[in-house]
Amino acid sequence: MTTTIACIGSGNMGSALMKGAAGIVGGAHIGFSDSDKSRAKLAAKDLEAGVFHSNIEAVEKADYVFLAVKPQVLPGVLAEIAPSLRERLASGKPAILVSMAAGWSIGKIQAIIGGSGTDVPASHAPVASVPVVRIMPNTPALISMGMIALAASPEVPADKIIELEKILRSAGMVDRIEEKYMDAVTGLSGSGPAFVYLFIEALADGGVLAGLPRDKALRYAAQTVLGSAAMVGATGKHPGELKDMVTSPAGTTIAGVAALETKSFRGTVISAVEAAYKRSIELG
């Protein structure tokens, strides 16, 4: 029996994950649902996938239901699909929800599905035992180089988690974690690409300031970051050790490092991750 997947929301991240999933289950077994029907049709066309008439139909027909909507939109979507989810649970064939909404805990999602509402603390709310998986992907999933953290509720069967991991690995690296770390992951790898893009842009600007043509500066900056990241992963060495391999006494690199530290480079980056982490908590 072929696995079927529904994606509620057809933005960049949902489309990126479905692109990878299509290589595993086939586009014909994937369907999109979106309030913007034209957007859903466009996302489906690229993958030769289907379009559901409604979110409720998506829940009724899919094994996995990806919630690829913004955190602010999620309450309305959950309220809409909750009755269908409860019906499937009662029938013994529950759909597995896969949420990527920042800040939204598994307990809170289950509480809303169970009719407890958003004003009841998840730790005290009676929850429906609808299986829920919480993930936090990032935008490099668009080119199958994403970082995807995954945490599952106890109701998700072990074989379903393994199957889901296989599907998600088509979009990048998958790491199973305890849910309590998910907001930190959101601040680091979820928001991190934007910080890296800023650094690449600034690095290229520095090259232009030093006289390089813009196209070459950007190419050198991007490849430098790509290669440096690969070095960390391939060697297993601490970034500080790799940094020391480049910084010769009284050389050019240590002069640049000193300039970065004068402007509190590391402290600023740490603060950026912390700010994103705190915002993730607020969204929940």
Q: What does the pLDDT look like over 57-103, one tens digit per residue? A: 999 999 999 999 999 999 999 999 999 999 999 999 999 999 999 99
pTM for the structure as a whole: 0.89
Query: Rounded distance, CA 248 to CA 251, Å?
Result: 5
Give the residue-averaged pLDDT of 223-244.
Answer: 96
Q: What is the pLDDT of residue 200?
A: 98
CA quadruple 157, 160, 166, 167: dihedral sign: negative
Q: In order of start, what are the domains of the chain with their CATH numbers?
A: 5-182 (3.40.50.720), 192-283 (1.10.3730.10)
Q: Which tens digits make up the pLDDT trace of 115-169?
A: 755 444 444 444 448 999 999 999 999 999 999 999 999 999 999 999 999 999 9
Cβ contacts of 42 within 8 Å, gap of 6 or more: 10
User: 127 or 274: whose pLDDT is higher?
Assistant: 274
DSSP classification of residue 237: -
Percentage, residues of the chain above pLDDT 70: 95
Return the pLDDT at 1: 52
For Cα atoms 158, 95, 122, give the angle at the middle one, nearest 5 degrees: 80
What's the one-letter identity of residue 31?
G
User: How many CB atoms are located within 10 Å of the residue 128 CB?
Assistant: 21
For residue 195, give both structure tokens.
């910080």
Query: What sign has the CA pseudo-torsion 163, 166, 169, 174?
Result: positive
pLDDT of residue 114: 87
pLDDT at 120 (0 to 100): 43
Q: Is the pLDDT of residue 246 over 60?
A: yes
Cβ pair 146, 139 in contact under 8 A: yes
Residue 283: pLDDT band with limits 50, 70, 90? confident
pLDDT at 3: 82
Please give the pLDDT value at position 129: 83
Distance CA 96, CA 98 (A): 6
Element of type H or E holding 136: strand 132-136
The three-class DSSP label of residue 7 is strand
Structure tokens at 193: 């690409």
Residue 116: the pLDDT is 59
Smallest CA-to-CA distance from 43 within 75, 21, 70 is with 21
Q: Using CA atoms, how far apart are residues 137 and 13, in angstroms rounded to an integer? A: 8
Q: Pick the closest to residue 31 from 71, 1, 3, 69 (CA basis).
A: 3
